[in-house]
Each structure stands twice: as structure tokens, then as C-alpha cells.
Amino acid sequence: MANEEKTCAHCKTTAEARGLGCLQACARCKTALYCGRDCQKADYKSHKKVCPKPVEHSNSYSAPRLHHLERHVPDPFTRLDEGTYLHHRPEIDTFKLLIDSFRIRQADDFVYENKTTPPSIYTGALSSTEPFRHYLDRATACKSLLPPWWTPEKMEECVIFGESGAWSDIRKKVTKHEIIQHYGCEKMPLQLRLLAEAIYGVGTMGQNGSQMRKMMRQMEGGGLPNGQIMSMFDISQKR
């Protein structure tokens, strides 16, 4: 006997009857099926009473311990949204994150907008020291973005570290893939891009990452409301 055809949990219609390729599963329990967002919203009050929270759900969005940083800091996107991403970190970790957020922003601006800030390694200079100093000046001007221990002397130490030959080096170009491999986290490029956006006030190609920060923050807190499903926009796929 043929298997019973699956239907929408709210309107009891099959995907075929609605002209859909398939029904969409509830992002929380992965069991209830819906033909669209309207049906999912309409069924939410009833479904939430029986929708179990998967034990492993938070693991998909909790921050892993990053490679090559001294201290693990949880909920990075929550901290980005609050403007405290660089707080409660060792000095060396803060230096690395500032340098690498600058490096990936330089790479994005060059690749996606053919935009450079001379003198930099993207204009033939041996180092991007001068634009990096301007970047740190901008970061310093952002209220509460840098930790309380940040001083002009620490800024100079950060610049010196950026030319020390470490992996985080303002004399070297970097790619998204290299960032992922180095830190061991697929979401690390997004963290760094959102940090750079907070410092510059705008993302590459004029993007505004405020909604992305809030969605990622909600995922860190246990999931989006009303069974919403989040899809991440990846700038590296836009040419």
C-alpha cells in the first residue's frame, strides 16, 4: 500500500495540491510540516504547546572554542549586537580580532568594489600600516566598542603586533577560507565583517548588518520566534 501523503499541519493540504515542491518543516522540532509561513503562523499557538525543543538545538549556534585565541568568549553575535565584542578578552586576542577584521574588510572592499585605501598592500605598498592606524582611530572613536584598558599606547602595541610576523599580519592579504581554517569556525568571517562594519559604520557595498546581528543573537538565545527559519546571506557569493 502506498505511503500516506504528507499534509500541512494547519490547512491539511498536500504540497502537490498547493503547487509546491515540498512542505516546510518547523525549524524547532523538524516534525510539523507547513505549506508556507502563513499556515505556520496560524498554527503557532497550538503547535507551540506540543513542539519539543531539540536537546542539541543550541549546539548549532553556540560559539565553538576558536583556534589561536587565548580565551573562549561565548555568544559572540550577542556581544556584537551589544557593542561589547572586544570586551573581556586578553589584549593579544583583541589585537588579533582588530587586525583580522581590518584584513577581511580590505579584501572584501577590493574584491567586491575594487576599492582600496592607499597606501596599502592592495595598492603595492609593503604594509597597510597607515590605513590600519586610521581603522584603529575609528574604533577608538566608537563609544564603548574597545575595552576599558585601551589606550594610545595599546593602540601602538596593536600596530606593532600587526607587523610582527604572526598570522594576523597587516602586511598579508587574507581570504574568507583562510579565516575559517585558521580560527576553526565557519561563522568567523561573519563575526569579523560585522566588527568591521561597527567600526566603519557601514558594510562592504553599503550593507547594513543590523538584522543579521539580531537574528544570530536570537539563534544564540535558543532560536527565532514563531518558528521562523533563518537564511544567511554570504557576501562572498555576490559578485
pLDDT digits (tens, 9 = 90+) for 81-131: 999 999 999 999 999 999 999 999 999 999 999 999 999 999 999 999 999
Give the pLDDT mean for 187-208: 96
Predicted local confidence at residue 19, as pLDDT: 83
C-alpha cell at 200: 566603519
Question: Using an 8 Å Cβ cutoff, are 33 and 56 in contact?
Answer: no
Rounded distance between C-alpha atoms, residue 112 and residue 235, angstroms:
9
H or E element in which residue 156 lies: helix 152-161
**Are the beta carbons of 104 and 193 closer than 8 angstroms?**
yes
pLDDT at 230 over 60: no
Alpha-carbon distances, residue 229 vs 26, 28, 69, 84, 218 (angstroms): 8, 9, 31, 27, 11
Q: If we measure between CA atoms, which residue out of 107, 88, 116 comes closest to residue 196?
A: 107
pTM to 2 decimal places: 0.71
Cell 493540504 found at = 13
CA angle centred on 203, ends 202 and 209, rounded to 5°: 90
**Vertex 199, ends 169 and 108: CA angle to 5°?**
55
For the chain, the average pLDDT equals 87
CA distance 70 to 17: 56
Cβ atoms of 191 and 80 within 8 Å: the answer is: yes
The domain ranges of the chain are: 1-54, 60-220
Give the single-character DSSP code of 2: P
Identity of the amino acid at 203: G
